[in-house]
Amino acid sequence: MGALRPEKRKNMTREYKVGLVGVGAVGSEMIKVLKERHFPCGKVQVFASRERDEVIGGETYHVLKAGEDSFAGLDIVLFAGKTDVALQLRDAVVKSGAKMIDNSRAFRQDPDVPLVVPQVNAEDLDWNKGVIANPNCTTAIMLEAVAPLHRAKKLRRLVAATYQAASGAGAPGLDELENQIHAYAKGEPLTVKAFQHQLMYNLIPHIDKFDETNWYTLEELKMLNEARKMLHHPGLKLSCTCVRVPIARAHSESLNLEFEEEITPEEAREILSKAEGVKVVDDPLNGGYPMPLDATAKYDVLAGRIRQDISRDDKRGLEMFVSGDQLLRGAALNAVEIAEHLVKRGLV
């Protein structure tokens, strides 16, 4: 976690004008990451549904109401708001000449919009037409660890179970978990509003709406469709169960991987140890394995519990556990890294 390396800074010889639409948890995190990584921009111009002053990261920003004429003169606009806002303002951003980096689901499956995690498929930025999409946070965390292995051994099938933090549902989800904990300690009734059921002392295998044709949730189908697009692997077989757990921040995932070629745990550790954005934490005898507590507020995805799949007779299967901060790795950090790569590749 820290500033850009010198090789990333070398092409950033000018100051870029950056806008932000949305001032929630992800938007605030984007501003924090821009500062931490010394992205060459002045004070970010923030937009939202109404004009007001807002304190973000200890600094006061004058927030303007977002509209069709808001983006003139900007180079990059980060979107951390709702899908309908992104859809409504897309043409205005593109017409202004700015690059739009959107964290919503609005454009993820649009064939004319690259869906990017820079460590996975930065080359897709080269064909952008003014809009770049951030993947779903669970997909981003998964592919940070899976893509290096796929490049080496060609992934064939993936079965995943996710353990997703309350804050993945935004501030209302985190607040509800914390309020339930406080209410329980006082012997008061627990309020259930943000989730389908009580989350404290529980887990909920239900995130987003159900697709009634196959009874997967939309969150689970996002992982399938986004992984296929980003890995350029339309034949990838992927099945997932997404579960909300009573954790404040950082998502975890249990991954069962099948490859076209043989792969050993030792090979996987070696590959991942060289992968940008991944930290191997795999010393189980001494309590070394990925945990959401350790991934919180960290840039890297933690990968461990790497072992051969003993249900197979060949050596083409692995089991792995990963944890990553969904607000950083799965959203804000990824958006800022996209901006960095746009600059590095001379695309803005």
Spatial separation of the C-alpha atoms in residues 279 and 295, rounded to whole Å: 10
* Helix, coil or strand: residue 46: strand
Spatial separation of the C-alpha atoms in residues 226 and 234, rounded to whole Å: 10
CA angle 302, 305, 310 (to 5 degrees): 145
Residue bearing tokens 């996209």: 338
Nearest CA-CA partner of 26 in 108, 96, 82, 68: 82
DSSP state of 208: S
User: 304, 280 in Cβ contact below 8 A?
Assistant: yes
Spatial separation of the C-alpha atoms in residues 265 and 151, rounded to whole Å: 16
Tokens of 198: 């009580």
Residues noted as catalytic: 137, 251
* Helix, coil or strand: residue 39: coil
Q: Angle formed by the axes of helices 137-153 and 218-230, to 10°?
A: 40
Q: Angle formed by the axes of helices 137-153 and 265-273, to 10°?
A: 110
User: 16, 45 in Cβ contact below 8 A?
Assistant: no
Spatial separation of the C-alpha atoms in residues 73 and 343, rounded to whole Å: 16
